[in-house]
Structure 1
Amino acid sequence: MARIVSVFGATGNQGNAVVHALLKDGTFTPRAITRNPDSEAALKLKAQGVEVVKGDGLDKESLVGALRGSEAVFGVTTPTDVWPLKAVGDSPNEQEWGINMVNAAKEVDAKFFIWSSLPSVKKLSGGKYANVIHYEQKAAVEEYLKSSGLTNASIHTGAFLENYWKHGLLKKTDAGFDVAVPHFSTTDRQAFTWVEQTVPTTVIALLKNYTDPSKKISGKTYPIVNDNMSYAELAALTGKVLGVEVTFTTVPALGIPPVDEMLKSHAEYSGLFTATAIPNPDLVDLGVKFGTIQEFLETEVKPRFGTPAR
């Protein structure tokens, strides 16, 4: 019998990487959960033999139907409306989405739930940064999951290295490239996660080990960080790999409270995850291999931004 892992956000960054990793590994059978099974991304998954099922995070009953028969669930929500936010109240309700996922998973008797979460910046900062609503909502779901009775684990990601191209972080200049980030100085450090490498590797390790009580997985939160460095250092390393000048620039605030406070908190607290060694020893013990920044730059950045050979 197939060991089905239902994957939310299967057409997005994290979920899509998890689906493809599950297909490659072969131990589990991925089921892609999406609000629009007829989207271009969903149709690509279908063409690869992935079961694609419609499920709306704001409709718990649709999730119950979508999750039936699942051994495990990978849950992630994306604040798709965060970047154009003008006020905190404009944020999509990720908390409701996540709680519906947890309740649906419990109703269909899923055995394990992995939640892609983030820490409460409000709690970490003692209330100084209270407007990072997309972090607070994910953190609230994490606490709900831990009290749900489901065997569970949560992962925390740093700044996505893939933002180099997915959000245009690495911008072309006359001399080479520039990395422009608000609120960070040349010495402020950031936690970086190579999402498409490290998230699926972590998810598979957790899936393969959650039934072993000696691993003590349930209820744990696992920060997954490939490196912790300044944006200036990242820019310099990028320049060495690309063979051109790559500079770092501090740019003005965005004027979007949830995003500005997110960046300020990361800058002030060195990427938020300094309490956990890099690479995370708990995940290394489960067999997770973390790619390096150098590997990311060579395999992902150089093919996209390098000068073609003549």
Structure 2
Amino acid sequence: MIFEILYKYTVLLGDPLDKASLVSALRGSEGVFMVTVPVKQPIEVDGELQDEVMQGRNIIEAAKQNGVKFLVSTSLPSINKISGGKYKNCFHYEGKAMIEEHVRSSGIPHAFLHLGAFLENLWNAQSILKKTSTGFTISVQNQTPQDIEAFTWVGRQVPAAALALLKSYLVQGDSSVANKTYPLVNEATSYADLARRTGQVLGVEVTFTTAPESGMAFMDEMYAAHAEYSGLYTDTPVPNPGLLALGVEFGSIEEFLKHEVKPRFGVDTA
């Protein structure tokens, strides 16, 4: 006999800058997966900045009001703290580090997923993979061919890790996963090596070049810090053994290139 389990989903509207809407949206929820978005130039409303920290605070407070039992959040460490104040302009890291403090003080059992450099940035947001007359180049500021970066396949690993943690705590009752930080890294290697392997998969020349600084301190300092501290997560083996123990499967860079990059850059996949 074949048993089929059907999961029913209800989509509810909630604005992270409107706590009342979140309280309503999270009603009846036992688990929450939280993602907050950096705000480069937040505005002030009624004496409060409408920034990423407010997003996180609103979600946390709404979750607490609804008696949420477990919260999983994508996050980042404080580069300012890691560098002893050398790199102090990475507001997108500092905001998430501040949200982590709000989560801890809330008393809600939680887990943080610390992400590395997005492999998807080959085409998303920063679009670091660019066409040349002979193939492609990967160009990143403040990185040399020898610098090591921690890379994350966001689209694959974040859902897998978040689901594994939520299932472990809420379904299996494993409290040992709570109140921990899990660096989520597929591989630690250089951008130069990523370029070489991209070329192998695409079948064309892909070079690495160090780009000039962008003039945006938060971006330039981020890349400089990642270069200086080898991707930030050197204290945790790759892939993360804590997540491996939960059954999370980590895709390789070659899998990412084959399934995500090759189709997007007009190369025959047959």
Same fold (TM over 0.5): yes
Distance 2:32 2:268 in 1: 42
Instruction: Find out whether 1:179 has 2:145 as its counterpart.
Output: no
Matched residue, 2:77:
119
Matched residue, 1:216:
176
Structure 2: give runs of 5+ residues left out of the alignment. Answer: 42-48
Task: Give, in angstroms, the shift of residue 27 of structure 1.
Answer: 8.6
Report the secondary structure of 1:248's partner residue.
Answer: strand
Matched residue, 2:230:
270
Report the secondary structure of 2:111's partner residue.
Answer: strand
Report the secondary structure of 2:113's partner residue.
Answer: strand
Distance 1:28 1:291 in 2: 26
Matched residue, 2:16:
57
**TM-score (ref. length: structure 2):** 0.90
Cα 1:27–1:114, aligned 2, differ >3 Å: closer, same or farther? farther
Q: Map 1:110-259 to 2 at 5 A.
A: 110-167=68-125, 168-211=127-170, 212=172, 214=174, 216-259=176-219
Matched residue, 1:8:
none
Distance 2:175 2:31 in 1: 17
User: Which AA in structure 2 matches 1:201?
Assistant: A
Distance 1:101 1:307 in 2: 42
Distance 2:13 2:162 in 1: 22
Instruction: Find out whether 1:300 has 2:260 as its counterpart.
Output: yes
Cα 1:101–1:232, aligned 2, differ >3 Å: closer, same or farther? same
On the 8 A contact 2:38/2:95 being kept in 1, the answer is: no
Distance 2:223 2:235 in 1: 19
Cα 1:293–1:92, aligned 2, differ >3 Å: closer, same or farther? farther
Report the secondary structure of 2:11's partner residue.
Answer: strand
Cα 1:219–1:28, aligned 2, differ >3 Å: closer, same or farther? farther
Worse-matched range after superposition: 222-231 or 53-62: 53-62
**TM-score (ref. length: structure 1):** 0.79
RMSD in angstroms over aligned alpha carbons? 1.9
User: Which AA in structure 2 matches 1:97?
Assistant: Q
Distance 1:232 1:57 in 2: 38
Task: Give, in angstroms, the shift of residue 252 of structure 1.
Answer: 0.8
User: Which AA in structure 1 matches 2:16?
Assistant: G
Cα 1:54–1:205, aligned 2, differ >3 Å: closer, same or farther? same
Distance 2:22 2:121 in 1: 30
User: Which AA in structure 1 matches 2:214?
Assistant: L
Structure 1: give runs of 5+ residues left out of the alignment. Answer: 1-25, 30-49, 83-90
Report the secondary structure of 1:253's partner residue.
Answer: coil
Report the secondary structure of 1:147's partner residue.
Answer: helix
Cα 1:309–1:187, aligned 2, differ >3 Å: closer, same or farther? closer
Number of positions where the alignment pairs a residue of Structure 1 with one of Structure 2:
257
